[in-house]
Amino acid sequence: MNRIQLSKEGSYYHCSSETVHTLGWLDQEGKAVFVKILHKVAAFCGVTVVTYCVMDSHFHLLIKVPPREAREGVTDKELMRRFRALYGDGRTRYMPMDADVLEGILKEDGTAARQWRELLLGRMCDLPMFMKMLKQRFSKWYNATHACRGTLWAQRFSSTLLDPNERVLTQVAAMIDTHALRMGAAEHPEDYPWCGFAAARAGDSAQEAALCGIVEPKRGPFADKVLLGYEVMLYRLCGLEPKKTRRQLMREVLMGAEGMGGNNNVWPYNTMEARILDRVANLTAAMVYGSYVFVEAQAQWVAKLLKRKKPKGCYQLGEGEWTLNQRLKKDL
């Protein structure tokens, strides 16, 4: 299946999938294992996990997939680092090769080395392969743990190409990080441990950096305040009051304390209306989500891919928000 991918700077996607039993399969252990596998597979594939939410019967991801050209920059040393991070040092059911033996093969730089490089690099910087490895690994763990057989997932997966715009990415991240609240699984964003925001709040520096990178990429040194500003937005979207222990800190962020500035333009996404929460269904169904210019450009790409006239699937969700019709997704 072909997926729309921006070739130069990589692409952001919203991905989701659900289990065959929508009443719920995953307990706390299962969710924790899924998150662990998610980060391992992402590290191997070179994918950045911006945020995520793992529910009882489905999951949502916001990820950045690097361009396929990035494979050329993966050295043998980096290849072995990723190999060991995912497969370990010994033979596993996923990889019939010892890490030390593979390292020796790569040093010899013969035909076998070229074949192994082609095999392993072919699994990197690729959205379908990333999702396949993620779901396949978790399915094997689940079936072995629960003495089950057969498929765990109801479908392959759905993906939506996102406009790499700060406002769009922040909206999607907010929809994912508040998903557990809308499903009644938690009362506050940081109370649900199997989402990206809660992990960042709990001290996961990599997850915090990933979220801050799309929320306010120019304010890296002020990561804690950036995350606080994002937290304020989540509370506003859900119509909640901040917890008492954090209320003063949030007020300082909103009022521009410690040099952040009192201008509301500093945090434009703090004033987003709760209407974006109604975009979940449209976002899951859409092929492309973003500004009209971005969606129109991708529609032209789809027309070229399908060798037919430009699709009429572009429609407006709200001011500055457009999607490409789900109908075309079945053709890809």
99-134 pLDDT per residue, tens: 889 899 999 989 999 999 999 999 999 999 999 999
Contacts by 269-272 with C-beta closer than 8 Å and gap 24+? 269/166, 269/167, 269/170, 269/171, 269/174, 269/215, 269/230, 269/233, 270/229, 270/232, 270/233, 270/236, 271/236, 272/170, 272/171, 272/174, 272/233, 272/236, 272/237
64-108 pLDDT per residue, tens: 999 988 888 899 999 999 999 888 876 777 777 888 898 999 999
211-229 pLDDT per residue, tens: 888 876 655 445 666 777 7
Confidence at residue 148, expressed as pLDDT on a 0 to 100 scale: 83
Give the whole-angstrom CA distance, residue 72 versus residue 59.
31
Q: Which amino acid is at 182?
A: R
136-151 pLDDT per residue, tens: 999 999 988 988 888 8
pTM of the model: 0.80
Give the whole-angstrom CA distance, residue 195 versus residue 89.
30
Give the whole-angstrom CA distance, residue 330 versus residue 328.
5
Strands 58-65 and 288-290: unpaired
**Average model confidence (pLDDT) for the chain?**
76
